[in-house]
Amino acid sequence: MENFDAIVIGAGHAGCESALALARTGNKTLLLTLSLDAVAFLACNPSIGGTAKGQLVAEVDALGGEMGVNTDKTLIQLRMLNSGKGPAVQSLRAQADKVEYHSQMKLTLEKTENLFLRQGEVVSIKELEDGLKEIETAVGLIYRCKVIVFATGVYLKSRIIIGPYTKDCGPNGFSNAQKLSDSLSALGIKLLRFKTGTPARINGRSIDYSQLEVQKGEENIQNFSFLTKKKPNNKAVCYLTYTNLETHKIIQDNLDKAPVFSGMIKGIGPRYCPSIETKIVRFADKERHQLFLEPESLSTNEVYIQGFSTSMPVDIQEKMIHSIKGLEKAEIMRDSYAIEYDCIEPTQLQPTLELKGHSGLFFAGQINGTSGYEEAAAQGIIAGINANLYLKGKEQLVLKRSDGYIGVLIDDIVTKGTNEPYRMMTSRAEYRLLLRQDNADLRLTEIGRKVGLVDDRRWKVFLKKKKDLEKIFTILQTKYKIEQVADFYIENGENPPKESVTLYSMLKRSNIDAFKINERFHVFDGFSYEVINEMNITVKYEGYIKQQLDEIEKFKKQESTLIPKDFDYNRYNGLRLEAREKLNEIKPLSIGQASRISGVSPSDIAVLSVLVKKFKEENK
């Protein structure tokens, strides 16, 4: 038997971030995984980021995490999504080299001091009387620790489904965990059954690329990590194609063979990332659906068909794929499949991701009912940070909805729960103009430093950016005479000024931005793209930003009204029965969190606010 400060179960994206956070803050940490070949494995699409997800990666990075660093090391294409729209919805998305992403993350884990990586299946967990936890593996190894992070992904009693064929295993044929679910149930944890899936992989040499639309990467954009200073190196391109009426007819004619409709699949699937057969049924009026062909790695010819997830029988899958433009002769290398798995009801967790009523047990990633690598990493770093603070006997970290997308994500799942795999979207964030990808470091790096995860190198980079921003905002007060700028205004479709203007007032014009100004006047030479872009957005959206800051102040008032832990909702008949039941179940930390619980009305909140105030006065 061996003792550790912390044990992390599962080495996917949540487990890697948790284990690194714990080890880097000085805790002897064991990271257990079913297979070392599955460490940080990109089981579905070979990409990191995307709408709202890019923000999550930047926030993980700002706190001192690894996903952004590893993505920049291994990306083969980088693009900024929604670049034609406002900054609130712009998000980075990278095609990562699937093989290298796994290899580089595994190497990082192996080199990290205090971190011990071990292959093994956990079959049971016990909580001992002295506050220690004990786990046992399938081969009989026993470990004890003070804190556990469960980051088991989609591996709990998982099974893949392809038409009539099923197999008890994890993604990509990896082994699954058959016994851990029962051990969690024995602790009184409520489990759910969810489902997700992944498309087929085809051989790139069999694709007729001449018929497809090319999707190239970009270079003059920021990286995922605030530590990365090199421009993105785009080494590959993606391609765009579409389903068609023939594809749809093949699917419609074979819906009786689709496990998602036949009743074979019991788990609840993701509404925002449905199978192609679900899309055809749900959006019957659409004549086509976008499909992106994405290279999996520079060391393989495998190509991922984004948007074409299915669990149809293999012969139907082949017909479907061959009906698509450019894929008429495509050679399938890996079949598409659906996967069912156990996860927990996330309202059983505190906003710190610690299990209610079980101190020292934390949960992160898809075991909490979420989907996506980025959502998993975001929870992973918070669980790791809080597990470390628990070990140190310090107050744990709760990120607010106004702090970041991570705060929105965790608040949503622990307060509202989820009846399907939860996916982050920009529309979920009320303050998304302030929670941008470009300013994640300004929002969160000081928090990461305070909890001990931001190292000296990252802190130095952060301080330099802050200093550069101070300098560049000073430059904005530089004045120019009319004759110096008149032609510049006209060239950019703006009426020339009638008097001398500052660079700040120039930036307020719709058709003029900081990059155009610098191209003409070279006033920002020497500043990084990130600093110029940050300043540009701040000035352009100054009025809207101020409005959101005012809204946040109102929000903080409710969040700062804490509800005492010993407050008994059942004592007060002024609260409706449904409200009392929901409040007792969730046990919100504040009036603000209580207001977001489904089934608790505004009138309940008004009554609760009065009762909490009275309770505090009586118990001074």
Q: What's the pLDDT tens digit per position in 540-587? A: 999 999 999 999 998 888 888 999 988 999 888 888 999 999 999 899
The pLDDT, as a whole number, for residue 253 is: 95
Taking 80 as the threshold, does the pLDDT of residue 183 lie above it? yes
Tell me if residue 469 falls in helix, strand or coil: helix
Taking 90 as the threshold, does the pLDDT of residue 208 lie above it? yes
Taking 80 as the threshold, does the pLDDT of residue 210 lie above it? yes
Residue-wise pLDDT tens digits, 219-261: 888 999 999 988 898 999 999 999 999 999 999 999 999 988 8
Per-residue CA distances from 192 to 180, 346, 511 (Å): 14, 10, 51
CA distance 284 to 280: 5
CA distance 24 to 18: 10
Which pair of structure tokens corresponds to residue 42?
Answer: 């990109």
Task: Please tell me the number of Cα atoms within 13 Å of 477 on its side-chain side.
Answer: 4
CA distance 356 to 443: 28
CA distance between the termini of the chain: 48
CA distance 514 to 507: 7
> For residue 255, what is the DSSP state?
G
Taking 80 as the threshold, does the pLDDT of residue 446 lie above it? yes
Taking 90 as the threshold, does the pLDDT of residue 114 lie above it? yes
**Domains parsed from the chain with CATH numbers:** 2-193+341-450 (3.50.50.60), 201-337 (2.40.30.260), 466-538 (1.10.10), 561-618 (1.10.150.570)
Q: What predicted TM-score, i.e. pTM, was given to this entire model?
A: 0.95
Taking 80 as the threshold, does the pLDDT of residue 272 lie above it? no
Q: Which of 100, 87, 80 is nearest to 232 (CA)?
A: 80
The dihedral through the CA atoms of 292, 293, 296, 299 has a sign that is negative
Segment 475-495 mean pLDDT = 94
The pLDDT, as a whole number, for residue 382 is: 98
The pLDDT, as a whole number, for residue 426 is: 93
Residue-wise pLDDT tens digits, 51-94: 999 999 999 999 999 999 999 999 999 999 998 898 999 999 99
The pLDDT, as a whole number, for residue 273 is: 77
> For residue 354, what is the DSSP state?
B
Please name the amino acid found at residue 64.
G
Residue owning tokens 């930003």: 545
Percent of the chain with pLDDT over 90: 87
The pLDDT, as a whole number, for residue 67 is: 98
The answer to whether the CB of 35 falls within 8 A of the CB of 83 is no
The pLDDT, as a whole number, for residue 556 is: 87
